[in-house]
Amino acid sequence: MEKHLLNLDNLINNILMPFGLKVLLAIAIWVVGSMAVNTFAKVIRRMLNTRLLEPTLVNYAISAIQVGLRIFLVMGILEVCGVPTTSFAAMIGAVGVALGVAWSGLLSNFAAGVFLVVLRPFKVGDYISAAGQTGSITEIGLVTTTMLTDNNLRVTIGNNKLFSDIIINYNVQPTRRIDLRCQIAYGVDPSAAIERLSANVAKIANVLETPAPSVLIVEFNALGTLLAVRVHAPTPSYGQVYNDTNRIIAATCAEAGWPAPAAYQVINQGRIAPTPQSPELKQAD
């Protein structure tokens, strides 16, 4: 009986108590360390925000800092618990290689996301066309970018597909040019049409005076004269000026009473005179 009690006392004092203390110490280190990591991340976020950096870049930096500090925290806990960190580091390396092979597409999206943040071809809020989609950027994530289209659809695009495609950013320049066409029929004086259209489009709200609006002759075709109407507008007002210019062109044509352009053909219904024969042919007959 005494032997069993001695074994139980040895189990409690030499095995369970040290192990329990290590577990409690590991939990305490994790809780305190996590609080310290979160506090440090908040301080870094405030510092980066005061420098007016890109929000996406700030999120990337904070995420990287938190992941790195938590890895060091876990390694410290393992050291306290007596687990050799060299074997742990080797295990992380093996897992990293396996994940790299299995998630090659995901990692390519991640790498493309890093390049999107560093090179900044666009930022959150920009209106772009890329990967066959057009809309406003709402979020640039680690592996995907989210876009809101004009018909209020949320589109998620992989960063690798987005970065490898042609990106058109409509918000980079402060102004944009609007190019529209106006087809007038034969019989309408092109000079008078140009003068009337120029006067009317110049009255559209948010049309810039410099460069001045212009109406030019593009070509003479089967329908009549094709005119080009070109105006410049601030980038935020592009849609409004585009729609108003189309409306003014239609209103100007109706107000002037210009006929609708239509192709026509001239048909000669007269008799074709016979071709006179040469003297040699007459002698042959």
Domain shared by 138 and 94, yes or no: no
Of 102, 135, 156, the last residue of a domain is: 102
Does residue 113 fall inside a structural domain? no
- CATH number, position 128: 2.30.30.60
Of 102, 136, 161, the last residue of a domain is: 102
Domain shared by 204 and 146, yes or no: no
Domain shared by 12 and 88, yes or no: yes
- CATH number, position 66: 1.10.287.1260
Domain shared by 126 and 183, yes or no: no
Domain shared by 9 and 38, yes or no: yes
Domain shared by 197 and 224, yes or no: yes
Does residue 194 fall inside a structural domain? yes
Does residue 53 fall inside a structural domain? yes
Residue 131 falls in which region: left (phi positive, over 0), alpha (psi -120 to 50) or beta: left
Of 52, 68, 102, the last residue of a domain is: 102
CB 181 within 8 A of CB 207: no
**Residue ranges making up the domain that contains 65:** 2-102
Does residue 277 fall inside a structural domain? no
Percent of the chain with pLDDT over 70: 75
Average pLDDT of the residues in 179-205: 94
213 secondary structure, DSSP code: P
Closest CA to 238 of 150, 148, 146, 165: 150
Domain shared by 93 and 7, yes or no: yes
* Span 213-263, pLDDT tens digits: 999 999 999 899 999 999 999 999 999 999 999 999 999 999 999 998 887
Predicted TM-score (pTM) of the model is 0.61
* Span 135-181, pLDDT tens digits: 999 988 878 899 999 999 999 999 999 988 999 999 999 999 999 99
At residue 61, does pLDDT exceed 90? no
Domain shared by 244 and 158, yes or no: no
The total domain count for the chain is: 3
* AA letter at 18: P
Domain shared by 97 and 135, yes or no: no
Does residue 280 fall inside a structural domain? no
Task: Give the count of alpha carbons within 13 A of 97, CB side only.
Answer: 5
Does residue 110 fall inside a structural domain? no
- CATH number, position 247: 3.30.70.100
Does residue 133 fall inside a structural domain? yes
At residue 281, does pLDDT exceed 50? no
Domain shared by 14 and 95, yes or no: yes
Domain shared by 161 and 180, yes or no: no
Residue 106's CB: how many other CB atoms inside 10 A?
15
CB 260 within 8 A of CB 185: yes
Task: Give the count of alpha carbons within 13 A of 266, CB side only.
Answer: 2
The reported pLDDT for the residue numbered 130 is: 93
Residue 109, judged by CB atoms within 10 A of its CB (0-12, 13-18, 19+), counts as buried
230 vs 10, higher pLDDT: 230
Does residue 283 fall inside a structural domain? no
Domain shared by 97 and 7, yes or no: yes
CB 213 within 8 A of CB 198: yes
Cross-strand bridge partners of residue 185: 224
